[in-house]
Amino acid sequence: MATTSKISLSGGEKIELIGNLTTMLTAGIPILEAVNSIAEDTKGNQKKILETIKADLMQGKQISTSLASYPRCFDKVTVNLIKAAEQAGTLEITLRDLEEHIQKDMEFADSIKFAMMYPALILVVFAGVMAVMLVFVVPKISTVFSRLRVTLPLPTKIMIFMSDLLLKHTLYLVGGILIIGGLFAFLYKRNKAGLLELFYRMPVVSKLMKEIDLSKFSRSMFLLLSSGVPITSALELSREVVFRKQTAQLIGKSREMVMGGKKLSEGLRTGKGIIPSIVIKLVEAGERSGSLDKAMSDISTHLDYQVANSLKMATAIMEPVMLILVAVCVGGMMMAIIAPIYGMIGQVGSM
């Protein structure tokens, strides 16, 4: 277990593995033969996982047992989905649904990465411009100012201080950055959940993360309920897929209320400001018609659309804001250099 717990797969590798297995099982190929055939054409961590599955199948174990030994590749929702499917004899159907689930998770991750690319590029360009200014421009201007003994404004003094720090005290600067980075890494390792929760509460991020949480929750509930997993177990497992602590606590409270004989919609209704009223209405409709899994699927589709729109809107807002901030910062640096020069010209002109 110590070795398998370190093995991981990318989203693409998981989709490829599950997709190949789904195709072969749908074609009527026996599970052991399918695993054997796929293992012949794979390598790396995929091959290791398939070899474990093959060995366990030959010993009479289930695939879910094999996957459970790879926690970094397959979460509890995935393992329990496959376990329920094996018991119900619907493995190929569940694997197809699971493939779509992983695909949507990848699309979420790719959308967020794409949305962050533009701000990251702007910051890199700004850092490059600032480095050129501090290394090449400011030292020369600073020499001229020191010879002329000009009274410098505060922004210019700050620029000269930063330039001196970068050029004359490089080791101290690098050491300070490493210490701060190491301290942040230590705090992140010790209290990852707390730091991420602070990030999730940021103004723009908060709304987006709430929608992503609800989308992941509803999609997981749909998969688990449609596979025959009891609602209390589905809620317990779905609680682990969300990001925000507030959402996880609400799911836990809802589970306790369901165990006490109440409906899921009643539990979700206690989360004011967390669960939109339309989601609660859809859950109530699903409970009345006995098709809660279908209601969760509809909720997931609705929230996927909302998340995509929120990401587009956030990106559209972020682009001009970042450009304005960079323009203001670069303009401020230029003014810090130009202002003393204009001051000198004014003094010369008044003589």
Q: What is the pTM of this model?
A: 0.73
pLDDT tens digit sequence for 295-328? 988 888 888 888 888 777 877 777 788 888 888 8
Question: What is the spatial distance between Cα 216 and Cα 242, in angstroms, rounded to a whole number?
Answer: 7
Question: What is the spatial distance between Cα 96 and Cα 92, in angstroms, rounded to a whole number?
Answer: 6
pLDDT tens digit sequence for 266-291? 888 887 778 888 888 999 999 998 88
Q: Which long-range contacts (CB under 8 A, 24 or more apart) does 317-323 make?
A: 317/204, 318/115, 318/118, 318/119, 319/118, 322/118, 322/119, 322/122, 322/123, 323/122
Q: 213 near 105, Cβ under 8 Å?
A: no
Instruction: Count CB atoms within 10 A of the CB of residue 2.
Output: 5
Instruction: Count CB atoms within 10 A of the CB of residue 188.
Output: 12
**How many angstroms separate the Cα of 91 from the Cα of each of 44, 64, 222?**
25, 11, 16
Judge if 4-74 and 89-351 fold alike in CATH terms. Answer: yes
Instruction: Provide the residue ranges of all domains of the chain, joining segments of one domain with +.
Output: 4-74, 89-351
Residue 260 structure tokens: 């006490």
Going by the DSSP 8-state scheme, the letter that residue 312 receives in this structure is H
- CATH classification of 89-351 is 3.40.50.2300, yes or no? no
Give buried/exposed letters for 313-335 (b at 16+ CB in 10 A, else e).
ebbeebeeebeeebeeeeeebee
Mean pLDDT of 62-88: 85
Burial class (CB in 10 A: 0-12, 13-18, 19+), 22: buried
Mean pLDDT of 337-342: 76
Domain 4-74: which topology?
Receptor-associated Protein (1.20.81)
Across the chain, mean pLDDT equals 83
Question: What is the spatial distance between Cα 138 and Cα 132, in angstroms, rounded to a whole number?
Answer: 9
Mean pLDDT of 107-113: 76
